[in-house]
Structure formats: C-alpha cells, structure tokens
Chain A
C-alpha cells in the first residue's frame, strides 16, 4: 500500500535575483512499512525532499500525498498538526531541549500527540531507563541520539524521518544507533526514511532512491537487504 506520493514536486528557493531549483519535478511513491534510504551528494536536494515529506517546507509546485492526504496546501497550523500526528524526526544533531530532562524531552510529545506512547517504556526500550532524570548535556552523543529516537517513536507516527542520524557519531556508536533505529521501526511497524550519503546504510534498505541535482536518478528495490551485522562498516 502506498503511503507517500510525490507528483511533479518542485521547490525553488529565491534569494535576490538568484533562483535555485532544489527539487525539479520529483515523482516517487513509497510503500508502507518499508525502510527507505535516500542517497545523494551534498546539495543534491535530499534534505529538501525530506523536509517536504516532514511538513517543514512546502513545494513551489506539485503535490505531496501522505496517507491519502494532500499536505502540499496545508496551512501553518495544519502542518503543525501533521508533524505532531504523522511524522517523527531524528536529526543529525539530536535537537533536544537542553532545559528538559531525558524523560521530559520524550514526554513533551504527550502535549501534542493524541496517540502518544508511554515515554518511560520507550526510554527503557532504547536502553536509557537509568538516565531518565539526566539533562541532555550530561549524556554522550549516542545516548542523546537515542533520546531523540525515543521522542520520535513516542509520538507513534506513521513515518520516521531521519536526516543523517549517524552523521555526528563515531562509526561504532553509529552502527548501534542505526540498529536500534531499525529495530524500533520494525517493532512498531513504522515506515522509515533515512537521508544519508553513507553507501553502507543503503545496503540494508528495502528501497534505495538516488537523488542528483534536484531529480530522482534511480529507484531501486532490494529483494534481500543485508542486516547491520553483515555490512562491513
């Protein structure tokens, strides 16, 4: 079943007289429950693609449908609702609230999401049961990223969106975080989209989409994706 549809999506950034086509007529669709990796060099437009999907940005033209709903014409408040209910974000730099504890950072989503899950339980699952009362600054990078995964899952969204989730971590920690991310997504049956320039992550994906110069260069379904342990990091 299709969960995401992009129809001829274009995003133009104008600054002064310059026009930059970050996305130029993108068409793609994603199946529910799949692990999707979007690959591409920097500046190719992959982050823009992810931001469109996450409701952080709206297309200049074209149509984006998520779960049968057109999100390309939503108002600011409707987009906020969409972000609250449908998508969960994991960023390269975690983006936790420094003045809230680990537990509070995750429990935050209860304020906005109707179907949110129990923060304590999720934190236990990501292995942070002992750190719930700590502040983000007291944790390592890997631990902070696990908090942000917990926060994304706790909203109980349909799709997990991750922008270079291991980009700021050393490779060992990165693999651990990636494994956790995938197992959490599988256990809770989430569609997961990861934007990266790391080819190795792509080996584990159900679908690999390559982006170049604002266009989809290839769309490839992998019959037998590797597990994290099989990949040579």
Chain B
C-alpha cells in the first residue's frame, strides 16, 4: 500500500513538473547559468594557475632577476652561485633583436648555464650550449612559416647573427611574449623569442656580454639583496618574479578570474535563487488545494513535504549538473590555446581543473534549492486539513496613496488594474525589475568597458604617441652618441630607470621632448606640457602623494637619494611611474642612460648602427592593441548574450506565472467583451512600465559597476570611464526589445485561455 502511494505520488511529481514545464525549465536554466558562470570563471583561473605552475617548474622559471647594464663578470656569477640559498644561477643575455628581411623583432635569450629559464623543446634537437644554432618559439615559427632546418638571421648591435633553427619550443620566461611594457598583448606574427646557444653568439659577436643573472632561490628578496650586496660589493636591482612580465601578467589574469568568478556569478545566482523562491511559492500556492486534498486523504505532512521538497531537489540537481557542463564549456572557451587566452598566454598544457571550493558551493546550492522547496510547501501545510484545503488567498488589496489623489479617477482602467497588480504582487514585480536591471547592467557594463578601453587606446594613438618608429638603444651605448643619433632623425628620447619609492619599485621616465613625438595628458585627458621645475606622478601614485609634496627616492644600484617636488599629475599608459624632463633630471643631478628614441622617420629609413638594439613601429604596438580589442569584443558579446538570456528567462518565467495567476481575471475580461488585442496591450503595458523603471535604475547601476571594475583594474591601467551614446542607445534598445518580445509571447498565450474552463467555479 505504501508502495502504491509512492508510485502515485511519483506519477504526480512528473505530471506536475510537466504542467509547470515553462517555470521548471526557466528555473533550471537560471540555476545552470548561475552555476555555469561560477564554475566557468573559477575553473578558468584555477586551471591557469595550475597549468602555468607546472610549465614554470618544467622550464625552471627564475625566482629573481638582477641587472647590470655594464654586464656581469665571471667573478660576479661565481660569487652569486656561492651564496647559500641560491639553488641555481646563470648569466643571461636577453635583448630584443631585429629579424633580417622582415619588420619583426625577437626576444633573444642566451643562457650561459642551462640551469635556469630553460626552453621546453617539442620539435627538433634538444637545447645544447655547445651547438651553434637557434631554438625558436614554436608559435612564432608557425605564424611565420618557419620550421626546423630553416636559417634565421637576426641583427644585434648592427651585427648579423646567422644560424640554423635546431628546435622549436616554449619557455616560461616568455609565457606572455611582449617586447616591452608598451605592448599590451602579444602578437606572435611580429614578435616572438629565440634561444641561442652561447656558442653561436660568441662566434658572431666575438665577445661575452651578460647584463642579467637569473636566479632560483628560496631566499626572500631582502635576504637576497643583502647577500648580493655582500657578494658583489654594491647594491644591485633585484627584481622578483612578481615584477617579471610573464609571471605578473599571469597573476593578474588569475586575480581577474578570481574577481570575475566571485562577482559575476553573484548576480546570476542571486537571480536564480530569487526566481526559485518566487516560483516555488507560486507553484505551491497554486497547488494548495491539492496539498489539502492529500492531507485530507490521510497523507502525513512529512510525506507531502517530501513530495514537494523533491521538486526543489530535482530542480537544483538538474540545474547544477547542466551548470557544471556549462562551466566547463565557458572555461574551455576562455582557456583555449587557439582562442582567447591563447593569444595572451603561450604554454604547452591547457588542462581544465576544478578548484575544491566548487564542490562545496555545488552541494550548498542543491541544499539551498531543496530548502526553498521545503519552506514554500511548509507554509501551505499549516493548520488543519480543512484549512489546507482552502485555496491560497493572497494578501488583501489595500488602497494606494495615489488613489487618494484626484488624479486616480482620471486614469484609464488598464492603468489602475496594472498599478494595483504591480503593488499586489510585489515580489513578482520586484523580480521583474531585478531581471531588467540585471539585463541593463550587463549591457551597460559590457559595452561601456569596450568604450572605455577603446577610448584609452584612441587616446594613446591620437594624443600621446605621435611618432612613427621607436628605436631601442643598446645598453652600453654612450648618451652623447644616442643624442647625436636622435638629432639626425629629429627624434625625441626617453631614459627609464628603476627607482625605489617607499619600498616600492616604480619607473622613472626622463624625456627630452622637442618634436612632440610623445605627449602627456592629465587626469582629464587634457594635454600637459612638462615643466622643468618638478616631477610628474602618475594617477596611481596620487593615493599617497599630492601635487606640491616633496618625495624622495633612490635608483636601484645607487646609494644616492634624490628629492623632487611634485609639479603635476599625468596619466600613465602602462607602468606606475614618475615622469620628468631632461632639464629637471640634470638639475637634481640624477644619472640616466637613454633607452629609446622616438622619430617620425619610418623603420627602413633608419640606418643600422652598433648603438641600435632594435626598431619598432608604432603601428606594431597599435596592432597589439587591436588584438586586445578583439578579445574585448568576444567578452562584450558574452555579456550581451548573457544579458539577453537573463532577461528572457526571468521575464518569461514571471510573465507565464502571472498569466496563470491572472487567467481567471483575464477570462472574465474576455467574457465581458474585451478583445484579445486589448487584453494583450494591457499586459504588455505593465511590462513596459516595469522596463522603464528597470532601465532608469539599471543605467546608473551599470555605470556604478563599471566604476567599481575600473577601481579594481586600477593597479594595472589608468583608465578613464567613457560610455558612448551608442552604448546607452543599444543597452536601452536591447532591454526594451527583450521585454517587448517576451511580453508579446506571454500576451499571445492569452488567446488560448478557455473562458468556459477558467470560469468553472473555484478550482
């Protein structure tokens, strides 16, 4: 007997689920999206972290790098190898060189000892320091149709180094392969990297020059700094891996994934849970007489509770299972070797892994959904069987404030009806608003982010960079020779040194700008002419420093401390920096070495010279920004699709629910003689009002989220919020479109109302 009861209830379970299929499906979709977005981002950052860690380990990624422009001697490296706590160290030559016959450049990497920062060869011969040849980045090789056995010629200090490509591979050192900080995104077609054996370099260049040492060590930065000072007898700039582009870029990508994984799913999960609460309440309210009937028949409360609670469990489970699949899909989409992440990060293994916390969240979600089901039915079960049998009566309608004004009587019937309906079903109206606000927020956020990034890049292109070619100078070249060289091409020049400001390593950029090849803008994007009576700080530094303050810093590798007056604030494009003119730098007596020249002369018009390390066109930098914008486009598309799905699912679910609730009223209107079209208009007009309100709230909310995002990105970029009129227009258009289309589909259902059926007594 007990069994047959169970089977009957089970049958009822599935039939009820079928009857509410629109609600059930939309709830499952909402949960799946919430869980999917959560899992997607969390799998993404976790996989990125784990996969790259393995790669770093496999290629013996260095913990520390030290630099000396004059080059380290053999005694230096031996002294460093002798430091207790240093596991491995090698002198390195790492410079950008031109590829002969192309406009491309390569990061040339020559390790003296192959014990740190190695290359994982996946084609051709293993790396060998004694063999004369090149081991080329496989991605650059692929993008430029090069293969093992081909000949490669690079130009360094005006000297050609020609050799055979012996192998192809990947190195953690170049996980994010950019020429310098000005390049936002890698572009493997124009810039790659190549490992060269010391044998081929010394044969062609005829001398040993290693301005860098890479170190693997467990020591802290401070310990190592002290040890090195003791070993070499002078302060040396020690940079940690956090300051190395590959590791830092990866970490910020991981952090971004963590932030996205914590922020974005909140919106979707909150909506999923709210949808669940309202829908379960509605379903149990509709089923109240059936609940009463079961009770009257003699089913124990516990059985009935279990029966209805199982809906919550079923929905939660189905939603999360779909969500996990969606999560892997999203993570796979981002973590695609040939897709989004692949254009930024170059590593061999792209395995997806789920962080442990996800399982806990997963269980919590299913439990929560089950609990919501439990609470909804608990409410309907209260009291005696007779009480439970009575249909659910919503709260009484109370007169609104508006009704006391004379305006009320002038309102048409449809308006009154809709207004009361909105007020009476507060939770439904609220949810509808949330759905519209969410839709609007995602649209404004996504499109606004693109506007902001686009504006930033336009500013760089039009207002800041006015040169055609950037010439990178050899580190050993004399300043006089460089200035002479710059004059020949009407060039401006820049010197960059690392300085220590309040224990923080930042850049000091010294400019000589006579031809306006480089320009500067302030916080309001207004052009600034640098004066000679002070230094200019970037926006990031304004948290602690004000204009007029005096700050002191010391360059790495020097014991001197310099005091400068802050004369103004300028927007930095990439690095956290302090900027000053050559004149001001000389007035305070700070030594510098010129690192690059900016000129309007195109690349091919510049003669080869032993002081030129490489040439880079502005176009190639702007192209790398283009790559970045393409990825941005994909992200925006994801946001827009997310917004539309969210809007449709939430609005359709609520629309259908409200239509079921009001079917009796709608049937009455039909019987009284209202035409379908007329009723449809009334239903849609309610949607339009709620949409108007939602848009009014969602627009500033979207801007707010954007501002929040900019604050979170502030350590990386100094972006200025920019939202174009097209973004406003598209966001509103899409939101209204979604609302209208859904409203139209719900209103169409009205035609199918069977008046006779709907009016047959109380259910």
CA of A85 to CA of B673, assembled, Å: 8
CA of A137 to CA of B664, assembled, Å: 15
Chain A residue, CB-CB nearest to B761? A93
Asked if residues B761 and A100 are in contact (CB atoms below 8 Å), the reply is no
Asked if residues A80 and B665 are in contact (CB atoms below 8 Å), the reply is no
Chain A residue, CB-CB nearest to B666? A97
Which residues of A lie under 8 Å from residue B762 when comparing CB positions? 93
Asked if residues A84 and B672 are in contact (CB atoms below 8 Å), the reply is yes
Q: Provided the pairs A93-B762, A104-B416, A107-B413 are in contact, do residues A81 and B672 lie with their beta carbons within 8 angstroms?
A: no
CA of A98 to CA of B762, assembled, Å: 14
Does any Cβ of B come within 8 Å of A29's Cβ? Answer: no
Asked if residues A99 and B676 are in contact (CB atoms below 8 Å), the reply is no
Which residues of B lie under 8 Å from residue A97 when comparing CB positions? 417, 665, 668-669
Contact with B along A67-98 (1 / 0, CB 8 A): 00000000011001111110001011101111
Does any Cβ of B come within 8 Å of A57's Cβ? Answer: yes
Does any Cβ of B come within 8 Å of A53's Cβ? Answer: no
Which residues of B lie under 8 Å from residue A27 when comparing CB positions? none
List the one stretch of B11-19, B66-74, B469-477, B751-759 in contact with chain A. Answer: B751-759
Which residues of B lie under 8 Å from residue A92 when comparing CB positions? 761
Within 8 A of A (CB), among B721-761: 751, 755-756, 759, 761
CA of A112 to CA of B676, assembled, Å: 12
From residue A106, how far is it (CB to closest CB) to chain B in Å? 11
Asked if residues B413 and A108 are in contact (CB atoms below 8 Å), the reply is yes
CA of A82 to CA of B417, assembled, Å: 24
Contact with A along B668-683 (1 / 0, CB 8 A): 1111111111100000
Does any Cβ of B come within 8 Å of A12's Cβ? Answer: no
Asked if residues B673 and A112 are in contact (CB atoms below 8 Å), the reply is yes
Does any Cβ of A come within 8 Å of B589's Cβ? Answer: no
Does any Cβ of A come within 8 Å of B378's Cβ? Answer: no
Size range of the chain A interface in the assembly? 35 or more
Which residues of A lie under 8 Å from residue B678 when comparing CB positions? 111-112
Contact with A along B650-689 (1 / 0, CB 8 A): 0000000000000011011111111111100000000000
Asked if residues A100 and B417 are in contact (CB atoms below 8 Å), the reply is yes
Does any Cβ of B come within 8 Å of A56's Cβ? Answer: yes
CA of A64 to CA of B578, assembled, Å: 92
Does any Cβ of A come within 8 Å of B406's Cβ? Answer: no
Q: Provided the pairs A112-B678, A135-B397 are in contact, do residues A100 and B420 lie with their beta carbons within 8 angstroms?
A: yes
Asked if residues B677 and A100 are in contact (CB atoms below 8 Å), the reply is no
Q: Provided the pairs A51-B756, A99-B424 are in contact, do residues A76 and B676 lie with their beta carbons within 8 angstroms?
A: yes
Within 8 A of B (CB), among A94-125: 95-100, 104, 107-113
Asked if residues B671 and A111 are in contact (CB atoms below 8 Å), the reply is no
Chain B residue, CB-CB nearest to A109? B672
Which residues of A lie under 8 Å from residue B751 when comparing CB positions? 76
Does any Cβ of A come within 8 Å of B396's Cβ? Answer: yes
- Which DSSP category, helix, strand, loop or mixed, fits chain B's interface? helix
Asked if residues A155 and B665 are in contact (CB atoms below 8 Å), the reply is no
Which residues of A lie under 8 Å from residue B668 when comparing CB positions? 95-97
CA of A57 to CA of B760, assembled, Å: 14
Contact of A89 among B396, B414, B420, B671 (CB under 8 A): B671
Does any Cβ of A come within 8 Å of B383's Cβ? Answer: no
From residue A71, how far is it (CB to closest CB) to chain B in Å? 13
Which residues of A lie under 8 Å from residue B420 when comparing CB positions? 99-100
Which residues of B lie under 8 Å from residue A54 when comparing CB positions? 671
Which residues of B lie under 8 Å from residue A107 when comparing CB positions? 413
Which residues of A lie under 8 Å from residue B591 when comparing CB positions? none
Which residues of B lie under 8 Å from residue A137 when comparing CB positions? 393, 396-397
CA of A96 to CA of B665, assembled, Å: 7
Which residues of B lie under 8 Å from residue A155 when comparing CB positions? 672-673
Does any Cβ of B come within 8 Å of A151's Cβ? Answer: yes
CA of A77 to CA of B751, assembled, Å: 10
Does any Cβ of A come within 8 Å of B605's Cβ? Answer: no
Which residues of A lie under 8 Å from residue B674 when comparing CB positions? 80, 84, 111-112
Which residues of A lie under 8 Å from residue B356 when comparing CB positions? none
Within 8 A of A (CB), among B399-445: 399, 412-414, 416-417, 420-421, 424
From residue A229, how far is it (CB to closest CB) to chain B in Å? 30
CA of A88 to CA of B158, assembled, Å: 100
From residue A113, how far is it (CB to closest CB) to chain B in Å? 7
Contact with B along A119-151 (1 / 0, CB 8 A): 000000000000001010110000000000001
Which residues of A lie under 8 Å from residue B670 when comparing CB positions? 80, 83
Asked if residues B672 and A56 are in contact (CB atoms below 8 Å), the reply is no
Asked if residues B677 and A77 are in contact (CB atoms below 8 Å), the reply is yes
CA of A112 to CA of B669, assembled, Å: 10
Chain B residue, CB-CB nearest to A87? B673
CA of A85 to CA of B674, assembled, Å: 11
Contact of B672 among A51, A57, A83 (CB under 8 A): A83
From residue A86, how far is it (CB to closest CB) to chain B in Å? 9
From residue B760, how far is it (CB to closest CB) to chain A in Å? 9
Asked if residues B672 and A108 are in contact (CB atoms below 8 Å), the reply is yes
Asked if residues B397 and A98 are in contact (CB atoms below 8 Å), the reply is yes
CA of A51 to CA of B672, assembled, Å: 13
CA of A169 to CA of B759, assembled, Å: 17
From residue A58, how far is it (CB to closest CB) to chain B in Å? 11
Contact with A along B382-405 (1 / 0, CB 8 A): 000000000001001101000000
Contact of A111 among B413, B424, B667, B755 (CB under 8 A): B413
Asked if residues A100 and B672 are in contact (CB atoms below 8 Å), the reply is no
From residue A172, how far is it (CB to closest CB) to chain B in Å? 22
Asked if residues B664 and A84 are in contact (CB atoms below 8 Å), the reply is no
Chain B residue, CB-CB nearest to A151? B672
Residue from the set A91, A108, A113, A135 with the largest chain B CB neighbour count within 10 Å: A108
Which residues of B lie under 8 Å from residue A82 when comparing CB positions? 673
Q: Give A contacts to B, CB under 8 Å.
A: 47, 51, 54, 56-57, 76-77, 80-85, 89, 91-93, 95-100, 104, 107-113, 133, 135, 137-138, 151, 155
The 9 closest A-B pairs by CB, nearest first: A84-B673, A99-B420, A83-B673, A80-B675, A95-B668, A56-B755, A112-B673, A135-B397, A77-B675
29 A–B contact pairs at CB < 8 A? A47-B756, A54-B671, A76-B751, A77-B675, A77-B677, A80-B670, A83-B670, A83-B672, A83-B673, A84-B673, A93-B762, A95-B664, A97-B668, A97-B669, A99-B417, A99-B424, A100-B413, A100-B416, A100-B417, A100-B420, A104-B413, A108-B669, A109-B672, A109-B673, A112-B673, A133-B399, A135-B397, A137-B393, A137-B397
Q: Give B contacts to A, CB under 8 Å.
A: 393, 396-397, 399, 412-414, 416-417, 420-421, 424, 664-665, 667-678, 751, 755-756, 759, 761-762
Given contacts A92-B761, A107-B413, 20 further A-B contacts (CB under 8 A): A47-B756, A51-B756, A56-B756, A77-B677, A80-B675, A81-B673, A81-B675, A83-B672, A91-B759, A93-B759, A95-B671, A97-B669, A99-B420, A99-B421, A100-B413, A108-B669, A108-B672, A111-B674, A112-B672, A155-B673
